[in-house]
Every structure is written in structure tokens, then in C-alpha cells.
Amino acid sequence: MPPASSVPCAPNRVTHLLALLFFSIPAPSVVPTCPGSPIFSSDPDPVHSLLYQRSPNAFGQSLALRCPHYIEESGHCGVWRHRESTCATWFCKFVRGAVGMRFWQVVRQLLHAVEESLAQWCVQELDMGTAALQLLFPPPKHPSTKSFDGNQLDGVADRQRYTAIWGNWTGREREFFKASASLVNPLTWDDVRAICGPEIQIFELLTQEAYSSLLSTDLPPVLQVHSFKAAYTGPGYSYISAYNSFDTLKLPKTLLDVLHYFDGRPTGEVLRSIEAEKNLKLSQSLLRKLVDFGILSAVGEG
């Protein structure tokens, strides 16, 4: 969704990750309406989460699943500059198809882990009180044993629980987030790595590897046809989707008719066969595009 021009700009990326939380808190005098945890993005409105999980294709189409940050009057996102990792890394289509999608997926994994770890670090640093910590960090439950209370079903917060969760910061919620920003804002990336631990360092390595793949145009030595769908077929061409139904590639029938040649033989041999038998020469850049979009894949890859 496009940005709302009225959203204030935070000074750096790390602050952006926490700054989303500023928009989640009600003014102290206002009865809270969020039935999930006000602190962690991983603990949102449970009813909304259930509907989201059970309706995998409905987000973006159903009003019941509409994001609370959406501004109906303008059609804008109310937290654009501070949107969290999923929204910051989600695209319908990607430069370099599946290769680009994988890069953004691991960036999301990294940013999400940083968001969660820094939020927990702020909670630890700012002394919310043990009773609040017990509510914020309950022992894990199997999803099948989770249940909703009436307030959660009605989409409103329980005032008593809300107050207990805020602990020592009840009535000073905005100050809590400002204090969090003051903690996070001066952090360097090295600080973030030290605070967030080995998981972030693993995700950082995976992000670097995905970025190298994004820059590389090397072709696998042996290719095979991957499964794909024709989203639309016209005279002499089809729109093909393989890695992502949103991102189709228009391919001529002459090309589609020779894809079965990629049967696990070395690529040079396949290209020579296609040229000799079909009088068709396929360029390296076209092959790369077919690999990027998941229509061809390295032998041994799913």
C-alpha cells in the first residue's frame, strides 16, 4: 500500500523496527482496543491471527482481515515508514523472480528476528516488573489448547490485563516507547548482533549468501524442467507462473515446445540438440531468466 505523507520519519533503520510499536499504543486516557499484546508483533490479535491462518488467500481481499493500519479515506498505509519486516519485504513480483524472492525472504527473517529480540531487550532493560513479564512471556502452549475470551472475540482489550501487562509503565506507555527508542537509536549493527545473539548472526550469513546469489548470473551445469502453470494462453504464447502465481512470464510457444529437452543432460548438449533439431538458439540470458523464474532448475533442486 502506498505511504501516508503524515507519518513521521525516524532517524535510522533500527529505530524504524521499534517505531512501529509507537503506533500500536493508545493514549493513556483512551480505553485500549488491541486484544493482543501491545509490545510484540509476534503476539497480535488472536482472533485476527486465527482467521488469517485459516484463510491463506483471503488477506488483501476480505474486509475481515483488513490491516488495522490501513487508512480507508486515503487508501494509504498509516505506518509506512515504520512498517514491520513482513510489510517492508513483501512484493508481488521480484527482480530476478525466485532468486529475488528468496533474498527478500531471508531479509525478512533477519529483520523479524531483530525486531523481536530488540523489543525483548527493551522490555528487559526498562524494568516492567515481574508480574508483567509473566504475562508477556507465558510458558508456550500447544496451539490446539489456546482459547479466546469474550473480550478477544469482540476485539477489545481487557482493561485489567492491559494494565497488568504494562506493569511499572502503566499510564506511561508512550514514555516506554520513547525510552525504547532512546535505547535502540544509538545502536550500531555490531551492537545489534551482540544483543540479539547467534540466531541473528546465522540469519545475517544467510542474507549475505542470498545477496551473492542475487548478484550472480552463473548457470547450473545441468538443468531440468520444473513444474509450472499456464495462467493464460493466447495465440502463439502463454503466460507461465512457476515460483509465484503473481509473477508470470510471457513465453512463446516455440520456446515452451522445447523445454522438455532439459531432461537432466548437460546444458551444452541440450542446447546443441535444440539448435540441430528445432533450428532454435537459446541465449544464456534467456536460460538464466527461465531459471530465475523457476521454470528450469538445477538437477537435484526441488
Q: Which residues bind ligand SF4 (CB under 6 A)?
A: 1, 67, 69-70, 77, 79, 83, 87
**What is the rounded distance in angstroms from the CA atom of residue 99 to the CA atom of residue 298?**
13
CB of 189 to ligand SF4, least distance (A): 24
Q: How far is the CB of 257 from ligand SF4 (least distance, A)?
A: 41
Provide, rounded to whole angstroms, the least separation between the CB of residue 7 and ligand SF4. Answer: 10
DSSP 143: G
Q: How far apart are CA 28 and CA 42, in angstroms?
A: 23
**Residue 130 C-beta: closest distance to ligand SF4, Å:** 32
* 60 vs 171 by CB, closer to ligand SF4: 60
d(CA 292, CA 302): 14
Indicate the residue among 69 and 96 with the shorter CB distance to ligand SF4: 69
In the complex with ligand SF4, the residue whose CB is nearer, 87 or 280, is 87
Beta carbons of 32 and 26 less than 8 angstroms apart: yes
Quick one: which of 189, 195, 22 has its CA closest to 125?
A: 195
Instruction: Say if residue 51 is exposed, middle or buried (CB neighbours under 10 Å; 0-12, 13-18, 19+).
Output: middle
CB of 52 to ligand SF4, least distance (A): 11
Q: Which is nearer to ligand SF4, 63 or 276 (CB)?
A: 63
Of the pair 4, 280, the CB lying nearest ligand SF4 is at 4
Q: Name the minimum Å distance from CB 53 to ligand SF4.
A: 16
Q: Which is closer to ligand SF4, CB of 78 or CB of 167?
A: 78
In the chain, at which residue ranges do the beta strands (DSSP E only) sit? 70-71, 76-77, 222-225, 229-234, 237-241, 249-252, 263-266, 296-298
Cell numbers 541440450 correspond to 270
